[in-house]
Structure formats: structure tokens, C-alpha cells
Structure 1
């Protein structure tokens, strides 16, 4: 099996690298390939064997040789003969050539740089060794940069780092080039060559030290990927190196090796490591994830770096079945380490401050919020990690926040507020890889070693005490040692020596609540300054007896593992055993349960994974055998996993606790989208993951498939969400119910309609229907309308959560596919029964209303005729200029009114401002008094009809107009009354939703309201205001025709296009268009402030002839110019003081707006038109919405009456739609299968009800008891 696995790993590595390197263009760019390792799934090296001259099998020590002896005595070098990267042993010698290459083939080169000679100069070791061509000084620090796999010393990052070092300080920089030994698709060969390169570098440095007198303590090695391990090798043989900086040291072939064969803290006085891609290799991680040096920095968590989200569309990405995007992310993240280190050299204005971290997701926020008031609690990543200049040397693991692009150094605010996407990736990564980063033994002060002692017993690596003992016990069949260790090591962490203890739910909720932000803390914790430390869960913990628990089982929980001795996320030793999912750890878990059976129902108690039990974990591990064992041992199959990790993404921010119950409250509205939202219960887990065997095992023990989670979803709801047809049939067949509603009042059928699960929706309809008869291919079936129709079958009210309503008003393209079959037949029957008549009646009434309004506004009289006479006005413009101007005096002559000529006033203007003469007029007999009230009323009406043009009814046109206006006024009252009546029986909320689907109706109702205001303005003789209102009425009345046009197939699609273009394309265009119009308009307004009309005399204002006299006029001018109406404005440019600037702005504006933006709008509209035209059922959806909108306008009693007309009663009294359908052979076969499935379902449900009745007669089912009769092997 190991051989097969290794061969598969080899093929995977060959495809990834050979395709990417040898094709010349792949889904990995050349820059990305420069310095990254391959993704082969390699396991470990054999311990290096060194050959001496006399005995090939004898392991020799490392001789302290000078370079000459190294050069002349190759067999004495500390270079391995065989590198076993696949764990195949001697078989690898025959299958692969794993020997390191020769010195000549690797051909290691050394390039020197300094401030005086910054250009690279090659230094040749051996007989030609000499430093006269370079500026090497032994009193300076020497920095040696070693590249990694698939890179070279001339790579851009090596050049940039060299330049940055020389700017940072006066140092010697040596770049090592071993590209001939590292640029190979055979990664194991590159690994083997690292030892060859290490020996070459060691010999070179020894000769350098001997010649120049340089000191080893002045050396600083910087290695990326494989280069980090080369640096470790060199430092090991030189001894006394001051510092090694590992830039994401390579993981494949090194992670499981001993410390002597890879970079570790013993290699130098100070080893600092930057982890940027520290994930498991199976998760496509190239760097070592574990802490390796004295100081380990984890930028953004060290798994995946922000900004590394490349995708690929190359042909290889489609042919080769590998996760290309994830591979690119890993390559990008792997290379981020040297970019961060280089920036630490050149960016003096910002520092990569790291906060001590316990390597857990839960510790991220606590780490960032912690004050840097303790020694080494904060440190700087990069060149300053070694301390100095007032900074303490870094010790431990640090979390560092960076940005997603250069410069990577964050601001202070960004450093304290990580992005939600980053936290999401961290949470997901720790969930998958958390076993590689144990919370214990990382950094003191952040993780209590006593609290997490149990973590070290079952880690993934081979250092766990119980794991090693169990391994020996399995091999030797002697279990005394492991049994004794379990009794002595595990029992101190248990309550009452494993007998457990009951805790009130309120105490457990408070224990979980202390992890939440302060605004979500419960009142009992809100007054504490630091609830995490001040809250004592054992304080006021009452002693709960078995009788108290039996009386109120929901108020207490039995715990076995001490709450204060849990792991970082509230886990126990049993969770860790099953987390790694190996046979050895499963056996260890079984062994522990034989001694302490009550451990089986202990759960995670942190909010992230609260409620997760070992049964949940075993189902996720796809291990039915272990599921059966846990069920036999008494695992609670109704345990709820309600932690934040499993919650839908849009509900995570709304989580809050309550002392009344154990589960977490969330806001009900959700789209159910979550990475691992699997329904909380073990049965739902098994269903969502397709574990049919586990599902049947749990169900056979008495699990209820109709149990509802926090969102009210059952097993069938969850299968609808994940669109699993076969599992749905299995769950329904063995007893799951189809009529349970969740928190949003959705059954599985209506949930399928809401989420547009087409196949499952049709399938459930076929399950619920009744077959009346079948003749050949014709079948008569009755479809129940209770969950489908929008009309409630009992009250006639609108059923908002019905399947038809959810499908018709759904916005997804998949909803269009549901408008077929039974739903479209139901809509057609509604249309023919009562909707069509009401639709055409409403259309005819509105058409008549619109025609009357058209006649009224057409016959509306205009303003009275005006006569103009001239009056000479003498004006003095300034102290020296006298002007005589003819100013038109406008005198309004009222018909039948004699004017008093003495009332005319002529104004002599002797001021610079020139005004028009004003005239006053009044009747000669205005001062007469009337004694008769009748005569007074008659004269008032006469004055009103004479002064108000709209009240003059002498002509036949006026009589027709006033008659039409009375009809419009009555029609407006009728339309408003109908809308109020509809709102009364629909309810305000649904009425508003109904109006929102028909925007043109909102405009029409608004015009009706304005129509009711017109008589008031008429009596006040406010003709001008009435004219304005009349214009608005006409503009808001006509668009109501669009609603009726949607009901006709010839013009309906075009109405949909208009709506889509206005609300989508045009709205986006206007937003961008206004930006340019506002900017250019104000620029032109400033330019036209200097406008001077040569035809205007000096001293006279030019604003009358100025094209842009005000900011508003300039905005309108820009609009007209965008419509290519610019001749008047262009000719006016030469009359300003900024003619050249105006014309340049004109050219720029026409290019951006008139050419670019306008044509972009045309292209967007064309795209929208094409999409809607190609959509098959888009018009059908608009027609369906019209049917439902008209239906909502019918009173409930009449709706119920119409329902009884088009439906028929079923055997159980429910209403159904009876259809005759033609079926294919496949559909007939499916009908038979559904019939058998329904029979099995009914039989199982009947048995369950009988069993529940028996249990109820026995006063309830006793809780599951652990199996206690397992023999213990001595």
C-alpha cells in the first residue's frame, strides 16, 4: 500500500512540475517558478549515511577538512549516498536514481557584492581563490543568501534583497547559486543536492575564513525553501554562526525528519523563521508549519497570504486534474516570505510588529489586542528580530498582520483590525490543519501547559505518550502498560474519577459566553473587567442529584472531563484521538472508553465548536465501524453541534446566548450558505455527507429524523439545501417527514422552490401527488394545493410562503426552469378562471381613463394674449453715460374690462440697473358698493370666470373639458379607493410588496392623488400652479400602460428590457456620467466668468448673452454637449480669456463622455437586450407575476370561491389540482418506484408511532446507557 501511495505521489509531482517547467508556459508563471518547491507528496528521508574509503557500510563522523582535502577526497564528504524521499527503502534504489549529483554537475557558484562594488562579482573557490577583485572586509558582517528549489542567484528577489542589505548597512553579501542542482523536476534530486551544496558552501567558507581571518560569529545565513536547510547544514559544520533566517523552510522530505537533518533552533545562536505557507502537504502547503527556531513569525497566520488568489484559464489547468488555483496560491504564499524580509530592510517608517501567539485561531484576536508591555510579548519580524537599538530579541511564536500588496507593512489601525476574509481563511485552515499546531508548549504566558497536557498525548507526530504506548501494545499484544498509563495519566483530568458530574446549563452558557465580545456578554459577566480570567465556573456550582436531573434533563448536562483541563478549543483526549482518524488512535479511543465510558458524551465547550461530539467527528471521518462502536457504547445520537464553525455565514455575526437554553440564538433570515452547515445533529451530518450506512445505524438506535436545528431544518431540509436526490429518497423512505416547517415557515417542498432546486422540487411534487388512473401513457394525477397555491385553501388569504409565490417572485435564473409542468398549468387555470377577465377589465377602464385625460389636457386653454407697447425710459448708467432705451411694457388686457388710463405709471430710471416699466390696472367701478348679497355672489362668480381662464365655460371646448375633468376626478377617487380596499385585506406589508413589483402602478396612484388636489387650485385661481401639476399628472399616468403590456407576448419582453436597463445599465451609467459632468461643468463655469461679448457696450452686464452664466447653466450645457449640441458653446470659447484651455477641455470631454461613456451605455444595453431575448421563460415569469398581482386585488372570499372552482377535493378532504399528463417510459418507471417508496415510508412511520406510544406508556425512553461489559485485556 505504501508503494502504491508513493507511486501516486510521484505521478502527481511529475505532472505538476514537468507540465509547468517543460512546456514553457503553464499555469505557473516564470517568476513564481523561480524559487518554489514542487508539490509532491513526499514523506521522509532515510538517515544520511556517509561512506569512508575502506568500508561502504560504515558510518563515519564529519572530518574537519580544509577545502583542498574536500576537493580531493569526495568520498569523505558528508554527502549521503542515497536519499529516500518516498519511504521506499532499498526499493527506491531500483525505482529512482536518488543519489546526489556530482560536484561538477551541481556546479555551485558564489557571487560577492558590497557598497563599493554593488555589481555582482563571481568568486572562484579552490586554486583560483582570490579576493583582490572584490571589496571583502572581515570586520564587516557577512550575509549569505541561498535560494531554493527552481530558482537561481540572479532571481529578482535575490537582487532586491542584496541591494536592500547594502542600503541598510555596510556588509559583505554573498549570493549562492546552485541552480544546476535545484532546477529539476525531480524534487528528491534537489533535496539530495542540498547536502552537496552544503558541503561546497562549507568548504568555500572555511577557505574564506582561513584566507581573510573572518569570524564565524559574524555570518548571517538567509535561506529560502530548500536554502534554509542548506544554511542549517552549513552552520552545523561550521559551528558558532550568529544567525540563520529561514524564509518558509521547505516541508516535503523534511517535516518528519529528525532535527539534525533540517533547520532548527540549535543551528545558530539565533534562528528566526518566517512561515508564509505552513500547511500540510496534502492541503498543498510547501513550508514547515511547526515552530522551528528561537523566534517563529506567522504573517497572517502563516497558512495563506492575502492577495494570493490567482486563478488560471490555461489549457493545462483544464487537462490536468489538480487544484491549480490552490497550487498558485501556495506558490505565491511560499514566495511572500522573502518579500516581507526585504521590505523590513528598506521600510524604516513602518515595522512588522508581531504579537505573541499560541498558534490557535481563538488566540488571534487576543494576541492582537494584548499590550506590548512584557519582555518579548511583541517583536519585529525581519531584520530587527534579533533585537538591538532598544528592542528585545524575539522568543516564541508571533502573529504578524500584513497587507495584501506592496508595501506589506500595515498601518496601526490595520494592525489591530484584521480583515474578515483573513479570519475566515484562518478558521477554515485551522479546522483542517489544527493538529499540526498544538496549543501547548508554544509560548509561555499564552497557553497554560497544565491545562493542555492531554494534547501532547495524542498529537499527530510520533511524540505522544499514549500513542507510543498503544503502538507498542498493538505490536506486542501486551496492554498492561497502556492500561496503567490511562489510569494514571487520564484519570486526574476527570470529575469523580470518571463518574462524571452534572452542571447546570446556565453555568455552561456563561462559560461559553465569556469568549464573546463585550457587547454580547450576558449581564452576569458584563460587570467583569476580564471575564475570561475572573469568571469561575465552579463557583456556586450546585450538587445535582440523579433525581434532579431526571426531573429536568434539559436544565443540566453531565460532564466527565474537567472544564478547566480542556484543550485550547474545549476538547478532551477523546476528541483528539478521533480528530486524526487513524486506526491506532481509534483503538486508543476504544481503550479509554472501556475505562471511562462517560467520556463518550463530552463535547467541545468553546463557542467555535460547541456541541461537537465524538459521534459527529466519526461521521465526518466516514468510519461506519467506529460509528457503530460509539452507538453501542452509548453515544448520544441527539447531540447538537451548534458552534460558530458550523453556522451559516450570514448568521455568524448575530449569534448571542441565553441562560434559558443551551443552544445559541441567531437571526432567522438566512440563505443557508455555509462551508460546513450540516444541520447540527449526527443524523443530519450523515445525510449531508452521503453516509447511508451511518445514517441507518443511527436511525436504528432510535434517532428522530424530524429533529429540528436552530434554523428549524430537519434532515430533509438539509438534503434540499445540498441538493442530494438519492440521499433524499433514502431518508424519506425510512421515515423522514415532508410536512415539517422550519423557522422561515418553509417545508422541504417550499424550500426547494425558494432555493430553485429544480429536480428535487419536481420529485417532491411527484411524491405528494395521488394517481387516480392510468391508461397507456396518459395519467390522471391530483396535486395537493396546500403548499403550492398562493391562495390558502381554508381562508382564501394570500399564502406568501407558497411554492408558486416563491418561484414566480424569485430572482434566480433557475427559477425560470421551475415555471413548467404543474406550476405553469396552475397559472393557466387561474388565468382562464378569473384573472383574465379582471385583467382586461382593468385594462379597458384605465384606457378609458387615459383617453379622457388626453382630451381634457388637449382642450386645456393657454395663457391670455399679451399686447406690447413701448415706453421711453430715460436711464443714466453711471455718472457720465446717458442712455435712452426702448423697454417693452407688457399690459394684460382683460376681456370685457375697461382700464383706467390714469393708473398707468411710468418710471424714470436714473440708476445703473435697468428695469421694465410696471403697470397697475383696476376696474373703474371697483369702489362701488353692492347692497344685494345675490348680486354680490353673482359678481364674484363673474369676476372669477373672467379672471381665471380655466373657469370660463362659454365655449363648447370648455364644456367638454370640464365634463372630462369631473370624470377624471371621480375616476381618481375610484382608483384610490380600490387601492385602499386592497391594502385592507392584504395588509400593509404585503400591499407595499405588491406595489414594489409594479413601479408604474405606484406612479399612477400618485397621479390620482394629484388629481384630487386640482379642484382646490382651480377655486383659488392658481392657474400657473395647476399647469405644473397637470404636467406631472400626464407624465405619471401614461407609464401605467407598461404594466398591461407585460401581459402580451409581443411587447412584454420589451417592457422587461426597459425595466432592466433603467434599473441596471442606465443607473450605473448615470452615476459615472454625473462624475464627469459635475467636474467639467464647474471648470467651464470658471472659464466663462471671463466671458466678454463685443456687441455689448462697456459697463453693461454680459450675463444675458453668456452661455454659462451660473453653475446650473453650466451643468445643462455639459448635458447638451454630450448630445453633440455644442455649436453655440464652441463659438463662445474665443470670447473668454481661456480659449485654449476651453478647447482642450472640450476635446477631452467629448472623448470621455460623448464617445466612451455613451457607447459603453449602448454596449451595456445591447448586452442586456441579448440576455433577456435569449432567456426562454423570462416573459413567462413576467406574465406569471401579472397573474399573481391581479389575484391579490381580489377579496379573500372571492379568491376562495375561485379556488373551489378550479380545484377538486381529495380523499382526505384537501383541495388538489387534477391534471392529465402524458408520461414517458422513464417517468412511468419512476412513478412505480415512488409508489413503493411511499409504501415503505408509511410502514416505517406507523412502526415508529407504535414504538413511541409504547415508550410513552413506559413514561419515556431512558437515556442511553454506556456499554460496561467490555473485557479488559491484561
Structure 2
């Protein structure tokens, strides 16, 4: 009655908006007041599709709010009076997917209703014209958005409900096969997010029971989107490259576990062992060429000193295009940053190739000093042998442990170490700057002071002392402070940091091993010719299931 009185008296502007761009109808929907909402719509029908205008809630309509509140009566009233269930999109910052937002329901009314799990409202919206194929600013359909919901039980139920309205669910234009902006279908997104519940649910929908005998059942698992043999963006590669640890649990689920085991045992392990043996033989030959390279005495030198020069031929024109194609396919951040994918080793092998190339150029142009890139190449080449440890379960996790310690603990520690060394090296240099250089020559020159302080920091040498002369008193004071800070505190801090990394990696030992096997298998499968790596599984034509490929598994 009060609303009707205000409207008839003309005291209030029915189109007035609030602080966040909301109308009176938005407020009525927010408080689930159906009577007021109906009154407002009768007085001003154009309010039905009015959207909020603030940056935070831009695009939200009363139908969005009613669907989230699961007010079926209000939803019916809004649809009856012309509410648009298809084109209304909530695009405000509040509805964007980010680490700051607590929810992500997409933009469309249908996805809002699906995410809160109200089956009746979802059916009503679809029957009223809501587009089940609508995509938001990330390219996510309602199925993508359901995969991202924390309540996985009702998400699976709503997934099947919405899919039942897809008229082309068996064809190439199926709703399940629509990719988002990152090229991920809902199935691949479940893998990247580590949603094991949704993954198992979708796999159960895809399997076909072949025959049963008592407790024994033979099933065929659809390998579409799973098998990397025919996929540009491999599901297996996506799992091992994601930062979510939960995703690696999928590698232990059927049929992924069986598929990886089949690929690795039949082709991956033999090829990888052959590649490791070939690389070691190559490094032995390269080392022998460097050690026994032709030398000649220096001109005018009566000693036996010799110049270290040699030209080692290596077909580099193949390495760089192959590496470049992988970088473009998976991205530089994943290619170089993911330890499971061998990121640091990619840096090593590319740098090694560059050193070989520099050595060749210097040799061809008769430039002296080629021993520098050659020595770097030898160190990097032999360090890269550790990459092949991933082919062995006992050694594989330790390579990841070393990488995490170097690029995690050691990199952070180096910043602290640099500050300490710069400070104390400068102090030592200042103390001996006006002293006789014969008193303590290790600190008379500033570069030598830095190097000597670095050696002291790592306890490579004992504290330099000259007992034939009286050293400055401040030297003893500064050296005492340096010994306490560097040796007792910082080195033990580094040991503690590395111990923590070892503990964490040790608890993920089995997961890391499986992830390394998958990454190595996918890498070999992409590099080798198809004739050397046949497709795994069974073609569905043998069982009247079309052109899809399946993996046969026996369940008890």
C-alpha cells in the first residue's frame, strides 16, 4: 500500500537510482519482496530489463538477483512481464573471475541459476529462451562455469541437466566441445583445475560396458580430448603444466593412469633410454674433441704453453626451430618455468647450443678467446645429463628437488648473500685502503676484497691473517661480526631452507614421478614420426562406436 501511495501521489521518481546504479526493482528483488516488485513492474514495465550502471555491478538485472535468491515466484513474474533471459549480461567487476572475488557465476542469468543449483529455475529460463551456448568475457559457457564451482556434487547434476537440452550433444558442435578463450573445453578445464569429482563424473558418462561376467567387467573408455596423439593442446600436458597440485591426482585415475602406463612402457621408456645413451655418447665425443683438440705453441714462447682452440661441428639449424615451435605452443613461461616440463633444462640446452655457435664463429673468424664459450658449453652439456634422470623413478624427483633449490631457495639466498658480501667487503677494503699492501694483500684491491669475502662467506678459506705485522683493530671487530652473521646465521638458514624444500618434494615423490613420465611421454610423442609411435587404444569402428578411439580396461 505504501508503494502504491508513493507512486500515485507522484512524490518519488520511480526511475531514480541508488549509489550502485540500482533501481527500486533491483532492491525489491534483493529483499525477495514479490509484491513490491510486481507493483513496480505494473507501474513502470520498462524497469523489468533495467540494468545496474555502476562499475561494480554493471549489467545486473532484477532477473539475475531473483535467480541467485532462488525466488521462483519472482522469476516467473519477471519472465511473464518480458524479462530477457537471453541477452542480459552482468559484466561488473564483482562478477569477474579473480583471486579477490569470492564467487564466479559468469554473466548470464542461466549460469547464475545453474551455479546456485536450482533445477526448476534453470528449466524455466531455458524454456523462456535462455541460450545454453552463451559465453562470457572469458569465453566460458555455463558448463565451464559449473566446473569451477566449489560445490562439485550439484555441479555435476546441473551439468547433465543443461547438457540434456543440447540438440547436438553427439556431434562435432556439441556444447561440451565449445572451447573458451584459452582453448579449454569443460573437460580440459576440469583437468587443469584439478576437479577430480567432475573428471570422474564425465568419464563415467563416456565409458561403454563391453561385457560382464560376475564381478569382472570390461569397459571401453573414450579417449577423446585425453589422448595427446591427435590433440594440439594435450590434456596430459595441461595437467602436468598447471600450478594446481590437485590436477596431478588425475594422473592416478582411470583411464589416464592406464593410458600413460601403456604409452610409457611400449614406446616412451625405450625411446627415452636410447635418447639418453645417444646424448651421453655425444657428450663424451664432444669432450674428447675439446680435450684432445689440435694445439700449437705460442709464437715466440719458449715454454710448452698452448692456445686452446678447436672447431666442433654441430647441426644447430634443427635445434632452434624445434625449441621455438614448443615455446609458441605452450608459452615461454611454461616452457622455461615449469620444472616438471624440464624448463631449466631447456634454458641449459639452448644456452649450450649458443655457446657452441659462438665457438664456431670465433674459430671461423680466427678470434682468440674461444676457450670461454667452450668451457661454458662443457659445463652446461654435462649438467644437461641430469635431465635424463627423469626416466628413472629413483632419480627423477631429485632433479626437480635440485631445480627447486637452485631457482627457489638459492636465488632468494643469493640476494641476502650479495648484501652481506658487499657490505663487509667494502668495510674490509676501507680498513686496508691506507695500510701497507704487504700487511694483508687480499683486501687491498676492491675486486679482490669482494672475491676474498665471498670465499670467507662459503668457508672455502680461513680468515686471512698476517702474524708478522700488527693488523688494524677494526679488522678484528669487523671479521668477528662477519663470522657470526655469515657462517653461523646465513649458512644455517640456507641449510634449513633446503631441508624444507627436500621435505616438501619428498611428500610429492610419487606425484612428481608420474608427472615427469607424462611430460616426457608427450614430448617424445610430439617429436617422433607417427610411424614410430602408433596411436594407443582401439578404434570405435570395431564395436560400432564411430571414429573415436577407446581404451579397454578390466574392472573388478
Superposed CA deviations along residues 329-351 of structure 1, whole A, max 9, x for unmatched, are xxxxxxxxxxxxxxxxxxxxxxx
| Other-structure match for 1:959 | none
Name the residue aligned to 2:495: 1162
Determine which of 201, 204, 212 is the counterpart of 1:774: 212
CA apart distance, 1:727: 2.4
Residue aligning to 2:458: 1123
Q: Decide whether the 8 Å contact of 1:716 with 1:738 is kept in 2.
A: yes
- Please name the residue that 1:1184 is paired with: 518
State the Cα deviation string for residues 1119-1157 of structure 1 (Å, max 9, x = none): 111233554524479644xx2222111111111111111
CA–CA separation in structure 2 for the residues paired with 1:985 and 1:1148: 53
Does residue 42 of structure 2 align to residue 697 of structure 1? no
User: Does residue 1044 in structure 1 map to residue 372 in structure 2?
Assistant: no
Distance 1:1015 1:486 in 2: 88
Verify: 1:1088 aligned to 2:432, yes or no: yes
Once the 2 structures are TM-superposed, how far is the Cα of residue 844 of structure 1 from its aligned partner?
A: 1.6
Q: Check if 1:1056 corresponds to 2:507.
A: no
Residues in 2 aligned to 1:950 and 1:1162: alpha-carbon distance in whole angstroms: 39
Distance 1:1126 1:1168 in 2: 28
Task: Flag the 1:1216–1:682 CA change in 2: closer, same or farther, 3 A.
Answer: same
Q: Distance in 2 between matches of 1:986 and 1:1003?
A: 16
Deviation at 1:1083, TM superposition (A): 0.8
Alpha-carbon shift at residue 810 of structure 1 (Å): 1.7
Aligned to 1:843: 276
CA deviation after TM superposition for structure 1 residue 805, in Å: 1.6
User: Which residue of the partner structure matches residue 1108 of structure 1?
Assistant: 443
Give the match for residue 590 of structure 1: 38
Q: Deviations over 1:657-682 (max 9, x none)?
A: xxxxxxxxxxxxxxxx7324211222
- Aligned to 2:140, which of 692, 710, 713? 713
SS state at 1:1112 partner = helix
User: Is the 1:723–1:757 contact (alpha carbons within 8 Å) kept by the matching residues of 2?
Assistant: no
Cα distance in 2 for residues equivalent to 1:1001 and 1:484: 75
Q: Per-residue deviation at 1:1219?
A: 2.3
Q: 1:1006 aligns with which of 343, 346, 351?
A: 351
Are positions 1:979 and 2:280 aligned together? no
Q: Distance in 2 between matches of 1:1087 and 1:586?
A: 84
Q: Which has the higher contact order (CA 8 A, sep 6+)?
A: 2
In the superposition, relative to structure 1, how do residues 603 and 1106 fare at CA in structure 2: closer, same or farther (>3 Å)? same
SS in 1 for 2:228: coil
Q: Residue in 2 aligned with 1:759?
A: 197
Counterpart selection for 2:89 from 610, 621, 640:
640
What's 1:578 paired with? 29
Whole-angstrom CA distance in 1 between matches of 2:499 and 2:521: 29
- 1:173-214, Cα deviation, whole Å (9 max, x unpaired): xxxxxxxxxxxxxxxxxxxxxxxxxxxxxxxxxxxxxxxxxx
Correspondences of 1:921-1000 after superposition (within 5 Å): 969-970=312-313, 972-973=314-315, 976-980=316-320, 982-983=322-323, 988-990=328-330, 994=335, 997-998=341-342, 999-1000=344-345
Matched with 1:1173 is: 506
Report matched runs for 1:208-607 at 5 Å: 469-470=1-2, 483=4, 485-489=6-10, 493=13, 561=15, 565-581=16-32, 585-607=33-55
- 1:816 matched to 2:248: yes
Give the 3 Å change call, closer, same or farther, for CA 1221–724 of structure 1 in structure 2: farther
- Give the Cα–Cα distance (whole angstroms) in 2 for the partners of residues 1133 and 1070 of structure 1: 36
Alpha-carbon distance in 2 for matches of 1:983, 1:1119 = 37
1:1031 Cα shift? 1.7
Structure 1 residue aligned with 2:75, among 627, 631, 636?
Answer: 627
**Counterpart Cα distance in 1 of 2:5 and 2:127:** 36
Partner of 2:176: 738
Cα 1:788–1:695 change in 2 (3 A) is: same
Cα gap change, 1:1085/1:484 in structure 2, threshold over 3 Å: closer, same or farther?
closer
Distance 1:850 1:610 in 2: 62
What does the per-residue CA deviation read over 1:126-173, in whole Å, with 9 as the maximum and x for residues that have no partner? xxxxxxxxxxxxxxxxxxxxxxxxxxxxxxxxxxxxxxxxxxxxxxxx
Q: Is the 8 A contact 2:34 2:73 kept in 1?
A: no
Equivalences for residues 67-78 of structure 1 within 5 A: none
Q: Is the 8 A contact 1:1133 1:1142 kept in 2?
A: no
Cα distance change on mapping 1:1017 and 1:729 into 2, 3 Å: closer
2:184 and 2:396 map into 1 onto residues whose CA distance is: 32
Rounded to whole Å, the distance in 2 between the matches of 1:1026 and 1:1152 is 40
Alignment CA distance shift 1:894-1:1163 (3 Å) = closer
Structure 1 gap ranges (5+): 1-468, 471-481, 495-560, 651-672, 793-797, 867-890, 896-946, 952-964, 1093-1101, 1224-1274
Aligned to 2:264: 831
Tell me the distance in 2 between the aligned counterparts of 1:681 and 1:995.
38
Of residues 633-642 and 1126-1135 in structure 1, the stretch that sits farther from structure 2 once superposed is: 1126-1135
TM-score with structure 2 setting the length: 0.86
Q: Secondary structure at the match of 1:723?
A: coil
Flag the 1:1140–1:1078 CA change in 2: closer, same or farther, 3 A: same
Name the structure 2 match of 1:160.
none
In 2 relative to 1, CA 722–1018 (structure 1 residues): closer, same or farther, beyond 3 Å?
Answer: closer
Instruction: Tell me whether 1:1208 sits opposite 2:553 in the alignment.
Output: no
Larger radius of gyration: 1
* Cα deviation code 1:570-596 (max 9, x no counterpart): 222222223334xxx432222233343
Alpha-carbon distance in structure 2 between the residues aligned to 1:1035 and 1:750:
40
Q: Would you say 1:748 and 2:186 are equivalent positions?
A: yes
1:749 deviation in Å? 0.7
How has the CA–CA distance of structure 1 residues 684 and 862 changed in structure 2, closer, same or farther, with 3 Å as cutoff? Answer: same
The alignment yields a C-alpha RMSD, in angstroms, of: 3.2
- CA 1:1143–1:597: 2 relative to 1, 3 Å: same
- Please give the secondary structure, in 2, of the residue aligned with 1:791: helix
Aligned to 1:791: 229
Q: What's 1:1075 paired with? A: 419
Quote the offset at 1:689 in angstroms.
1.9
What is the CA–CA distance in structure 2 between the aligned matches of 1:571 and 1:593, rounded to whole Å? Answer: 15
Change beyond 3 A, Cα 1:1011–1:640:
closer
Q: Deviations over 1:15-60 (max 9, x none)?
A: xxxxxxxxxxxxxxxxxxxxxxxxxxxxxxxxxxxxxxxxxxxxxx
Higher strand proportion (structure 1 or 2) = 1
Residue 106 of structure 2 aligns to a residue whose secondary structure is coil
How many angstroms does 1:1019 deviate by? 6.9
User: Does the 8 Å CA contact 2:187/2:199 hold for their aligned counterparts?
Assistant: yes
* Cα offset, 1:989, TM superposition: 5.0
Encode CA deviations 1:485-527: one digit per residue, 9 max, x unaligned. 423327x846xxxxxxxxxxxxxxxxxxxxxxxxxxxxxxxxx
Q: Distance in 2 between matches of 1:987 and 1:1178?
A: 22
Task: Label 1:724 to 1:566 Cα distance change in 2 as closer, same or farther (>3 A).
Answer: same
Q: Is the 8 A contact 1:833 1:1202 kept in 2?
A: no
**Contact persistence 2:440–2:465 (CA under 8 A):** no
Native 8 Å contact 2:326 2:335 kept in 1? no
Q: CA deviation at 1:1010?
A: 3.4
Report the equivalent of 1:282: none
**Paired residues of 2:68 and 2:112 also in contact (CA < 8 A):** yes
Q: Give ranges in structure 2 of 5+ residues lacking alignment.
A: 164-174
Cα distance, 1:701 vs. partner?
3.2
| CA deviation map 1:421-469 (0-9, x unaligned) | xxxxxxxxxxxxxxxxxxxxxxxxxxxxxxxxxxxxxxxxxxxxxxxx4
Per-residue deviation, 1:1118: 1.1
Q: Summarize the Cα distance change of 1:633–1:1135 in structure 2 as closer, same or farther, 3 Å threshold.
A: same
Q: Distance between the aligned counterparts of 2:120 and 2:359, measured in 1? A: 76
1:1179 and 1:1140 map into 2 onto residues whose CA distance is 56
> How many Å apart are 1:985 and its aligned residue?
6.4
- 1:950 is displaced (CA, Å) by 6.7
